[in-house]
Amino acid sequence: MKTIIVYSILLLSFFTLAKNTHSQIQFFDSVKTVVSSTVFDYKNPAFGVRINTIGDFCWLVYERHIGTSSDIIVRKARYSSFDSEIVITNTDSALNINPYIDQGMIVWQSNARGNWDLYYSILTGDNWSAPSLLDSSLSDETDPVIKNNNKAPVENNFFYLAYKQGNSIRFRKYKTSTGIWNNDTLVSEGTNDHITPVISRGNFANQLGVVFLRKYQGNITKINQRIFYENYSGGAVGWENVFEFLQPNPQSNLSYSYANTDFLTYSYDTLNSTHNLIFMLTGQDYKGVVTKNVPGKHLLKERIMDVVYYRRNIFSIQRFQRFIKIFRLTVFYIY
């Protein structure tokens, strides 16, 4: 039986001060199949976090697998319908996986050249470009994440890319007006293995940061962050030193929380239980408990939000209204 993608809609209205309410899957008012096939398997769906207000759609990207190969697929997702698939990679002998989308760029990893390389596609109008190889290095580059700075005019607009290479986390930036990538920068420090990079906004207009997990003996992971400051002239960004969160127990499951990436969440083991904590980029300034003994991740958005969650071999997409926080997996908690 092949994997399908299912679309679920939940229409709710809550006061912002409502507490400790929750929603089960059976209360969703409709379920629609996004894509289903007896030939292909579909994996790793992801939405662009920004919804296009002209036509009210956002972009949905996912992997389409057959045998030992896979392609990157993108399409417009609307409230109650989906446009036709756009095939980005169209290969028959390679794996193209881990797509990430923000604004008008998709990045992913591919083994088309034997090792893992990063590729990207740019949106112009409604047309996605053919795949472009980002780096011809013989090293493996994996787990890409892209973030647009949402700045105007176009001369001040950049995409920031974080990814894993070997045991390290690295960084590059792309200037939208010229279509040129800067050379990569080493973000992590030391010889430990580093995983799960994300890019988050900071407290100031030109401040962002790369946040990632650093592995220690015993498979213990700790959150590290490195803040940087934008340089609109096109030169290198300015970096602060790597900072590790000061908590005694392991931190794991690093994830985006807020749609505009002002907040992140992670799992923290303490007192024989697991909590999901929310934090801002500065880390030590604010950490709050979001859940108590509830697995998964939560997402918050100030307008309509599309969320993907996993349940066995089915992908479902929930659309939520203003001021509703939801949790990934089969149980959604709303504060």
d(CA 121, CA 231) in angstroms, rounded, equals: 24
Of 15-19, 86-90, 159-163, the least confident: 15-19
For residue 27, the SS3 value is helix
pLDDT at residue 176, as a whole number: 95
Predicted confidence (pLDDT) at residue 2 exceeds the cutoff of 70: no
Inform me whether the pLDDT recorded for 23 exceeds 70.
no
* Percent of the chain surpassing pLDDT 70: 70
Confidence at 293, pLDDT banded by 50, 70, 90: low
Q: What's the predicted TM-score (pTM) here?
A: 0.79
pLDDT tens-digit map of 70-121: 999 999 988 778 899 999 999 889 999 999 999 899 999 999 999 999 999 9
Q: Which sign does the torsion angle of CA 100, 150, 121, 62 carry? A: positive
Q: What's the rounded Cα separation, in Å, for the pair 332 and 299?
A: 10
3-state secondary structure of 92: coil
Closest CA to 257 of 204, 201, 318, 207: 201
pLDDT of residue 330: 26
Residue 53 has a pLDDT of 59
| pLDDT band at residue 261 using 50, 70 and 90 as cut-offs | low
For residues 321 and 306, the answer to whether their CB atoms sit within 8 Å is: no
Within 8 A by CB and 6+ apart from 162, the residues are 144, 145, 147, 169, 170, 171, 187, 197, 198, 199, 210, 212
Residue with tokens 């929750």, as numbered in its chain:
22
Residue 314: per-residue pLDDT: 38
Band (pLDDT 50/70/90 cuts) for residue 279 is confident
**Interatomic CA distance for residues 98 and 163, integer angstroms:** 11
DSSP 195-235: EEEEEEE-SSTTEEEEEEEEEEGGGEEEEEEEEEE--TTSS
CA gyration radius for the chain? Answer: 20
Give the dihedral sign, CA 326/332/334/335: negative
Residue 133 has pLDDT above 80, yes or no: yes
Q: What is the pLDDT of residues 203-236, one digit of tens each?
A: 788 999 999 999 999 989 999 999 999 999 878 9
Give the pLDDT score at 288.
67
What sign has the CA pseudo-torsion 163, 169, 170, 173? positive
Q: Which residues contact 281 (CB under 8 A, 6 or more apart)?
A: 200, 201, 202, 203, 207, 208, 209, 211, 225, 227, 262, 264
Q: Is the pLDDT of residue 162 over 90?
A: yes
Q: For residue 217, which phi and psi values (nearest 5 degrees)? A: -55, 145
Sign of the four-CA dihedral 21, 25, 29, 30: positive
Cα 299 to Cα 197: distance, rounded to the nearest angstrom: 18
Question: Could you tell me where the DSSP H helices lie in 16-167?
Answer: none
Token pair of 250, please?
């392991």
- pLDDT, residue 134, reads 94
Task: Please report the pLDDT score of residue 112 as a whole number.
Answer: 95
